[in-house]
Structure 1
Amino acid sequence: MVVDAPLDSSGAGRGEERAPAALRRAGLLDAVAADDDGQIDEARLRDPRRDRASGVIGAAGLVRAGAAISARIGGLIADGHRPLVLGGDCAILPGICRALPRTTELWFVDAHPDFLDGATSPTGEAADMDLSVVTGHGPAAAIGVDDALLDPARVHLLGHRPATDEDSRVEAARIDPAIHQVPAADLLRADAGAVGARLAADGDGLAWLHLDLDVVDPRDLPAVTYPEPDGLRWPDLVALLTPLARADRLLGMSVTDLNTDEDPDGRHTRRVVEVLAQMLTG
Structure 2
Amino acid sequence: MITIFSAPSNLGLRPPELGSVPGTCKAPEALREAGLFRRLLAGGAIDGGVVLPGRYVDDDSSRAAGQVRNETALVDHARRLGRRIAGVIADGRAPLVIGGDCSLILGAGLALPGGTGLVHIDGHTDFRHPGNSDQCASVAGEDLAAAVGEHWPAVADIDGLGPYFSPAQTVHIGCRDDDEHLDEVRRSLGLALPARESIEIGMPDAAQAARAVTGNASYWLHLDVDVLDPLFMPAVDSPDPGGLNPNQLVELLTELAPTAIGAQVTVFDPDLDPDGRYAALVVDILATGLADLGRQVHP
TM value normalised by structure 1: 0.90
Alignment partner, residue 264 of structure 2: 254
Shift of 1:277: 1.3
Structure 1: how far apart are the matches of 2:130 and 2:23?
Answer: 23
The size of the alignment, in residue pairs, is 274
**Is 1:100 aligned to residue 117 of structure 2?**
no
1:25-49 Cα shifts (integer Å, max 9, x gaps): 11112212321011102x2442221
Query: 2 CA distance for matches of 1:224 and 1:62?
Result: 20
Which region of structure 1 is more displaced relative to structure 2, 115-124 or 180-189? Answer: 115-124
Q: Residue 272 of structure 1: which of 278, 282, 285 is its match? A: 282
- Contact map agreement 1:104 1:206 (CA 8 A) in 2: yes
Deviation at 1:161, TM superposition (A): 1.0
Answer with 190-199 or 27-36: which moved more.
Answer: 190-199
What is aligned with 2:188? 177
Check if 1:207 corresponds to 2:228: no
Match of 1:2 in 2: 4
**What is the CA–CA distance in structure 2 between the aligned matches of 1:90 and 1:230, rounded to whole Å?**
20
Instruction: Give me the whole-angstrom Cα distance separating, in 2, the residues matched to 1:113 and 1:160.
Output: 6
Task: Quote how far apart the aligned CAs of 1:139 are.
Answer: 1.7
Using the size of structure 2 for normalisation, the TM-score is: 0.85
The answer for the alignment partner of 1:216 in structure 2 is 228
How far apart are residue 231 of structure 1 and its match? 0.5
**Amino acid in structure 1 at the alignment position of 2:262:** G
Task: Verify the 8 A CA contact 1:54 1:141 in the aligned structure 2.
Answer: no
CA deviation map 1:152-187 (0-9, x unaligned):
000010011123xxxx53x34543523311111101
**Contact kept in structure 1, 2:13 and 2:141, CA below 8 Å:** no
What SS is found at the alignment partner of 1:83? Answer: strand
Offset at residue 200 of structure 1 (A): 4.4
Alignment match of 1:160 (pick from 175, 189, 203): 175
The residue correspondences of 1:20-169 to structure 2 (distance < 5 A) are 20-32=28-40, 33=43, 34-41=45-52, 43-50=53-60, 51-117=63-129, 120=133, 122=135, 124-142=137-155, 144-145=158-159, 147-163=162-178, 168-169=179-180
Shift of residue 108 of structure 1? 0.5
**Aligned partners of 1:47 and 1:61 also within 8 Å:** no
1:265 partner SS: coil
Larger mean CA deviation between 12-21 and 44-53 belongs to 44-53
1:198 to partner: Cα distance? 4.9
- Correspondence for 1:187: 198
Give the 3 Å change call, closer, same or farther, for CA 45–226 of structure 1 in structure 2: farther
- 1:64-92 Cα shifts (integer Å, max 9, x gaps): 11111111111111111211100111011
Q: After the TM superposition, which of the residue ranges 138-147 and 76-85 deviates more from structure 2?
A: 138-147
Percent identity, aligned pairs only, is 34
Q: Distance in 1 between matches of 2:24 and 2:172?
A: 22
Paired letter, 2:239? P
How far apart, CA to CA, are the structure 2 residues paired with 1:215 and 1:106?
16
Q: Which residue of 2 aligns with 1:263?
A: 273
**1:226 lines up with 2:238 in the alignment:** yes
Task: Report the CA distance shift for 1:111/1:141 in structure 2 as closer, same or farther (over 3 A).
Answer: same
